[in-house]
Structure 1
Amino acid sequence: MIENISGLIGPPRTFKKLFMGVYVDGDCGHRSIPSYWSDDITGFLRVNSDGDTVNVAWIKDNDGDNGLTPGVTGIRVLFPDPKTISYNWWDPPTDWGPTNPANPFDYSGHPDTDAKKYRIMSNGEIDPDQTKSNPPPGIPIDGMDTRYFLSFGPFDVPPDSTLKLTLAYLGGQPEGENDEFDDLGINARWARDVYDNPPADGIPDFSGPPPPPSPNMEIIPSDQTVTIRWDNSSESTIDKFSRLQDFQGYRIYRSRSGILNEMEKLGEYDQVDGFGYDFGFDALNPITDPANGKVWYTYIDRGLTNGEFLYYAVTAFDSGYAPTGLESLESSPVINLKQVAPSTGPEQQQAIQEVLVVPNPYRLSANYVDIGWERGTADTDRRIDFTNLPPRCTIRIYSLAGDLLDTIEHDYPAKSAIRHSESWDLVTRNIQAIASGIYLFTVTSETGTYVGKFAVIY
């Protein structure tokens, strides 16, 4: 779980070297166990099993309550990246936890003044893990009613400004050869990557791992037949989250309407590696282009009706990522969706001319009100226009993952005031303002379908 936290810092003066903290009293355990909260242990995970710095403060039940609570939870600071992190834990009967004699600001006993509290939060001390294998002196090895305090900073906050924080609350479960801390460390890295997709640029993304890109595709109509060809460009991509070349296979789709949920899967082909069906690609007649080394695959759809318009797409899917429980991801059919009709004559092209989106990209920083493009600054005042439309058509807007966000019916002059244009307020059918990103759209009329894309930058 990734949580954004913000608050107005006042009164109107500058705060220098401000430190923030998160207090956690986990009370880990199963409620059926008497005094389940009395045997917690805590610690600090600096580096995960892949060597990534994660800096996670964690807490768990010491013995797992006979398998009822085997996992661990923890907190990581995602934004802003603090220069100093302090981690301290304690138990009420023994007061403040272990101290470092070499650090004069790591107090023993309770920090009962503001000055002591500030020094505890800013001293950069990381208490030793409370574990059976390495118990701190004088601390019971079976755990206690432990709680911890994760603090971080410093931050300089100008007058009347907002301090924004992003924290990740994480979990870890033992699975196979990996223990709960291996899982916690992997999840900590993935939380960072979801917040700011790799390679990190400091701009929040809040988006998960993408599927492999769709391949380059072409379709060739002939008498009662359509030939679909695509290249192997999807196969060499590296997943930035798992850091693996995780391409698995292709799926071929056909539709008479161009609507995603009405697409029929004609075939699925995957690598022979023990994942999925292991069909292999030999049936697709792979041919290597000697000019550039690309491999091209071919699928032939036969027994069709000449003159009937059909839509085709080829998607790529991956193998998922077992350590995080991520299932296989598939690219959207909208990305390379093409329309064609089998014919005894020359190849037919889609009849709809290019549809333009204005402005593209849409920038939140642009002042569209002053130039008269938008009426106000509310979410519902935002506007893009689809132009060069046929008089009657249906516009469908999708995310890159293929989720239908909204549908607009353009019908001039019955319902639409402008013959060749239709506006959209960037609000989905679920009444949610869309986020920054790239979006796909289709325009479908009785003469064909046009597929395009536009960008939104906030």
Structure 2
Amino acid sequence: MDGRREPDLGGLHRSERERHLGSGRATNDDCGEDGVCPGDPGYNGADRGETDGRPTPGERNFDATDKDESDQIGLTGFEIFDVHRYELIDDEEDYRVFSRALPPLEDILLEGGRNLGMFFSSGPFPLQPGQTERFSMALLFAGHDFTDPRNMENTSLARKKETVQQIYNANYQFARPPDKPTLVAIPGDRQVTLIWDDVAERSFDPFLRENDFEGYLIYRSSEPNFNENFLITDATAR
């Protein structure tokens, strides 16, 4: 500590605090109002607010672009039903279904082997001409590794739900592999020459905040569909 007093940043998240206290480099999403950082596809040069050390509307993870902080109505209605029960041709019935309160869990547990449809609703809210509102939704599927659907703790479905929630809270910024290069195969006399670009080597990982390219892996198979490869493990090391 050099004795200087930090500015009052209120309830800003850590990433936003770092933007305030940054050194002026385009780090911690201090990329300006277009939200596009140097090195991103479509970057056309510096714009307003870029590297100014302050949060600017339009930058990632701030205000309206921070999905975990933005105002949310959430899921206000849900209906699961046999297909063709509702046909979306009766406006009054549609509004009645969409606007009623969420049913108790016991009322939406259905056995498999049926052709089912689902309604999701969130509202009501005003939508003016030309206004855009975005929504996020996740559909989770998992193996039947539970006996009571009212007790889903430590099940595959519960783990997936936790992972999806973490991804959403992180504004969909999570560890990912480098971008895939474009590969060209040139046949020759008892040989194949492979040529690819360097897009993977230049890709930036927004979660680790670094260029984390480590190398290439080239697989050779005796059959074209790679059916000889089997799953060794999954994300939970099972």
Please state which structure has a larger fraction of its residues in helix.
2
Higher relative contact order (CA 8 A, sep 6+): 1
TM-score (normalizing by structure 1): 0.21
Greater Cα radius of gyration, structure 1 or 2: 1
Please state which structure has a larger fraction of its residues in strand.
1
